[in-house]
């Protein structure tokens, strides 16, 4: 869908931003360009919609050389989202999103109704449509930016550091939202970031660029973390790459064990284990009760130690290990999709599974 063939960009001042780079982006996937500041990510991205033309080489969208298309026409099929959303400050949110359909000659009513649908699609309440961008939080503005880019239903989306101006929690929410949207929409997304965590979370393929616009490695996230191509990629993907790789390991085989539980408001069992898991009336974990804690009567919130993160059954093994490491009991709490308690996993179980996987992988790679 998007191809770069021996693309080179030298700016008028002699800076070579992209160096003889070839790359194919698969249709219907999120591909991430990642690398340190100044390595040519934005330059590469902007060559797709002809905001920048290459000095040599060819950029193709859907098999056609972009230089053969009229830039305005080309951009109708390519949504563009930038940092801090770039919304028009004097137009309401709804009119910001309706801008492109209006340019296409849609009636005001039709364009606004499409804009409302899009606001809902990106998870914003309809009444925000009447506000001005300045009256929204950074995260909300980014969502409007995404809605606006989707307005013409373009098959291709270019996203240039779209989430880097918001705090880490909001950012994680926006990333999850993009993955959910992509499940639904199947766009061809080219996404620029300098954050390797964001890259491996979002990308089906990740292109690591290094200074001077060289392509250092182009691989699926798991392969990137498992086998960085050289010292630059190794240092760029970071020291804890072994741990982060667990994000791509399924936990289906992990054994979930039973643990003693008590409901908030009930009396604890008389013979208590070292740790008892406390649940609410809907079987959702609320915290841990230590054996040493004296409880007179029913268990109350004040008797509890805060629980750790919860591991959703079937989620990546990283979540299981994090649940173990963050729980005061050293037991990772496992829940179903609705947050109901299912049992616990131990660190030993997680490590045994990692060891087992390694042995299986080794066997299958040994002739």
Interface residues toward ligand ATP, by CB under 6 A? 11, 13, 15, 17, 35, 37-43, 194
DSSP annotation of 329 = T
Q: Which residues pair with 8 in a beta bridge?
A: 56
* Residue 360: CB minimum distance to ligand ATP, A: 39
Nearest residue (CB) to ligand ATP, 41 versus 318: 41
Q: Least distance in Å: CB of 20 to ligand ATP?
A: 15
The Cα 74–Cα 82 span in angstroms is 18
Closest to ligand ATP by CB, 54 or 285? 54
Distances 31 to 40, 161, 185, 269, 334 between C-alpha atoms, Å:
16, 13, 15, 53, 32
Nearer to ligand ATP by Cβ, of 213 and 287: the residue is 213
Phi-psi region of 112 (alpha: psi -120 to 50; beta: other; left: phi over 0): alpha
In the chain, which residue ranges form alpha helices assigned H by DSSP? Answer: 41-48, 71-76, 93-103, 108-121, 138-150, 168-185, 196-202, 221-226, 231-237, 241-245, 317-326, 347-365
Beta bridge partners of 291: none
Shortest distance, position 265 Cβ to ligand ATP, whole Å: 53
Residue closer to ligand ATP by CB (options 83, 261) is: 83
Residue 35 or 139: which CB sits closer to ligand ATP?
35
Based on CB atoms, which residue is closest to ligand ATP, 16 or 128? Answer: 16
CA separation for the pair 219, 301 (Å, rounded): 48
**Least CB distance from residue 208 to ligand ATP, whole Å?**
12
Q: Which two tokens stand for residue 366?
A: 């040994």
To the nearest whole angstrom, how small is the minimum distance from the Cβ of residue 33 to ligand ATP? 8
Minimum gap (Å) between residue 193 Cβ and ligand ATP: 9
């Amino acid at each position: 869908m998007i191809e770069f063939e021996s693309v080179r960009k030298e700016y008028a001042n002699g800076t070579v931003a992209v160096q003889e780079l070839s790359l194919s982006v698969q249709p219907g996937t999120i591909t991430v360009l990642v690398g340190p500041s100044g390595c040519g990510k934005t330059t590469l991205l902007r060559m797709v919609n002809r905001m920048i033309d290459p000095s040599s080489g060819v950029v193709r969208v859907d098999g056609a050389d972009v230089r053969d298309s009229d830039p305005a026409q080309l951009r109708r099929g390519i949504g563009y989202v930038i940092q801090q959303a770039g919304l028009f400050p004097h137009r309401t949110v709804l009119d910001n999103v309706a801008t492109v359909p209006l340019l296409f000659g849609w009636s005001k009513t039709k364009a606004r109704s499409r804009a409302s649908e899009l606001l809902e699609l990106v998870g914003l309440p309809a009444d925000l449509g009447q506000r001005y961008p300045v009256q929204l939080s950074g995260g909300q503005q980014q969502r409007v930016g995404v809605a606006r880019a989707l307005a013409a239903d373009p098959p291709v989306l270019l996203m240039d550091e779209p989430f880097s101006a918001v705090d880490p929690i909001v950012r994680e929410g926006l990333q999850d939202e993009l993955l959910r949207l992509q499940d639904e929409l199947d766009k061809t997304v080219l996404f620029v970031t300098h954050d390797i965590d964001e890259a491996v979370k979002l990308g089906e393929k990740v292109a690591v660029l290094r200074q001077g616009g060289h392509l250092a490695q182009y691989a699926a996230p798991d392969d990137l973390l498992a086998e960085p191509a050289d010292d630059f990629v190794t240092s760029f993907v970071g020291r804890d790459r072994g741990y982060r790789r667990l994000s791509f390991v399924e936990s289906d085989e992990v054994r979930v064990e039973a643990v003693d539980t008590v409901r908030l408001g009930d009396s604890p069992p008389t013979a208590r284990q070292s740790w008892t898991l406390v649940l609410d009336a809907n079987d959702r974990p609320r915290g841990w009760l230590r054996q040493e804690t004296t409880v007179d009567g029913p268990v109350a919130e004040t008797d509890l130690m805060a629980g750790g993160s919860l591991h959703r059954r079937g989620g990546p093994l990283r979540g299981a290990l994090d649940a173990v490491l963050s729980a005061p009991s050293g037991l990772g709490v496992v829940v179903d999709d609705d947050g109901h308690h299912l049992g616990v996993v131990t660190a030993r179980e997680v490590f045994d599974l990692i060891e087992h996987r390694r042995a299986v992988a080794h066997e299958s790679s040994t002739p």
